[in-house]
Amino acid sequence: MNARHKQNWAALSDVGRIRSHNEDAYLADPPLFVVADGLGGHEAGEVASQLAVETLRDHAPRRPDSNALARAVRAANREVIRAAREGIGRSGMGTTITAALVEGTHAVVAQVGDSRAYLMRGGTLTRITEDHSMVADLIRSGQITEAESRIHPNRSVITRALGTDPNMYADTFEIDGEPGDRLLLCSDGLTSMLLDTEIAKALEEHSDPAAAARELIRAANHAGGQDNITVVIVDLDGGTSASHGPRESERRLRGVVKVIGWLLLLALVVGGIGAATYRYARSRAFLITSGNDLVLYRGVPGDLGGLSLSWQLDSGTIAVSALSPAEQARLAEGERFDSVAEAQRAFDDYERRAPADVHF
Ligand code: MG
């Protein structure tokens, strides 16, 4: 678990109980607070969410200005698209983003995807954002209920994200708060595990934001912890005014760390495929379709410097058209997993959900 907190805010992220990577990213740098949930294959999701948070930090206004915050989100979107095009991360990688700019009891929120913002006032929890997801659309059109959405096979399909559409825009919200109001930003790893009433209870019972954040993470893990869980809690009591940005020395240090990161990557590429890369590939797995054939490989899709790092383990025929468009797209490109066991489970699941039509 990694955590940051001050008297009137807390930020906490946990990998959960199933995933081996944390693809969520967050920022708590008053007056700016951000949660981002990376998508599109494990390593790439991490790159996308981190890049989006960093770009947003560099472009965000220092006052609650919703248009300026939305512009910063668009800059983050362009940056994720550019990075994928230049081969950083992976094409098709993306991220949600939910950002709040807080000044006293006034806040603006910009949001894309299914990471949410809530406002807690006097024991009542109100959802500020509306998820950009397939199940949210189905709930809005009356086709399924909130309870059904929690077990819907396409519950993780989101309809708007950073990293895919250059014309993407963020929804923005203004909060004219009162002292004592509490703002919560969170990834779907929290809201897919806990009902709003359970979230409200944790926020109500813990006046210390750090304690409330710990309790939310504990409860989400207790309920299954099926995804990465990130929570940012900000008490709107006037203590989060735009008093300071990142210090210049801190910015410079971050810049240096970034440059060292790129140099290491460059050394790895120039030096050829190292043992570490080989070991890494051996620990991974992916599923890919070719026509109606679903193939399970150990390794990573594509090749590195002309060298293929994949080994076929299993294959089968499925009815690819029975899967959602998002799943089809993912499988056509190669859906990545952290382990062979995880990929094997997904393989079995696809075979079960999209059995091939057998004609004699
Ligand atoms: Mg998530």
0.85 exceeded by pTM: no
Tell whether the torsion through CA atoms of 339, 341, 342 and 344 is positive or negative: positive
Q: How far apart are the CA of 129 and the centre of ligand 1, in A? A: 16
Comparing CA positions, the residue from 119, 118, 150 lying closest to residue 136 is 150
Q: How far apart are the CA of 255 and the centre of ligand 1, in A? A: 28
CA distance 168 to 29: 25
Q: How far apart are the CA of 188 and the centre of ligand 1, in A? A: 5
39, 46 contact by CB (below 8 A): no
Element housing 108 (H / E): strand 106-112
Query: What pLDDT digit, counting tens, does each position of 312-339 carry?
Result: 777 888 988 889 888 898 898 889 988 8
Average pLDDT, the chain: 86
Q: How far apart are the CA of 36 and the centre of ligand 1, in A? A: 9
Q: How far apart are the CA of 226 and the centre of ligand 1, in A? A: 9
Question: Residue 90 corresponds to which amino acid?
Answer: R
Query: What pLDDT digit, counting tens, does each position of 165-200 carry?
Result: 999 999 999 999 999 999 999 999 999 999 999 999
Q: How far apart are the CA of 232 and the centre of ligand 1, in A? A: 15
Comparing CA positions, the residue from 272, 333, 329, 275 lying closest to residue 304 is 272
Q: Average pLDDT for consecutive 10-residue bins of the chain (360 residues)?
A: 79 95 95 94 84 96 96 96 85 92 96 97 96 95 94 91 94 95 98 97 96 98 97 81 39 46 50 58 84 85 64 83 88 87 90 73
CA distance 103 to 129: 19
